[in-house]
Amino acid sequence: MELIYTTQRDGFEQGRTYRNPRHFDQTEHGVESVVVIGHWPKVVNAYEAAGADVSVVEVPRRVALVEGPDRVEFDSLVAELGSIGVIVDSFAEQNLERPQGELGETAGRLFQVLEAVNAGIASLQRERDGEVQKVMDLEQEKADLIKQIESLKAAAADPEVESLKAALDKAGVTYRANASKESLQKQVAELNQQ
């Protein structure tokens, strides 16, 4: 049996057996000769080791000739690419810099977009800093209010209410923290009747 290893996709001859060398993992039994089209040393070495007659057909290389832009246009593209490099590098270093000289269309547009991005970031930073300051001011205001409340509580403490609470505490009687003076007097009176 003869096998042909090739990566071609069409032009197969009727009655011949083809395999794709990209999917090769081991030799097939009963193969006497192998034709390998292209550079596939794994296939060649495996079948030679198995004792098959192996022939290799070199694939002609395709050469494409590309006609490039004229020299002036090429130099312009190289200069613009250099400008783009300067813009991107300076942006990455968080110090956007406009390159010297005339910018091409793409480099000019890139610079405008990155300038707008920088302006947006600066605006967000200012807004964030303002909000942080507001939070700090509110925290200070809260601390001041707590101090005022504590001083008002201390100044407004009724000695009689404190005395009633102390009597109830001594007797082990529970009461609401915000109980009225009358309620405390009633509880103490009940306590005294017992």
With 0.75 as the threshold, say if the pTM is over it.
no
| Per-residue three-class SS string for the chain | CEEEECCCCCCCCCCCEEECHHHCCCCCCCCCEEEEECCCHHHHHHHHHCCCEEEEECCCCCCCCCCCCCHHHHHHHHHHHHHHHHHHHHHHCCCCCCCCCCCCHHHHHHHHHHHHHHHHHHHHHHHHHHHHHHHHHHHHHHHHHHHHHHHHHHHHCCHHHHHHHHHHHHHCCCCCCCCCHHHHHHHHHHHHHC
Residue spans of the domains in the chain: they are 2-57, 71-153, 157-193
- Give me the mean pLDDT over the 96-123 stretch: 87
Supply the pLDDT for residue 75.
83
Closest CA to 19 of 106, 158, 1: 1
pLDDT digits (tens, 9 = 90+) for 110-147: 989 999 998 898 899 999 999 999 999 999 999 999 99
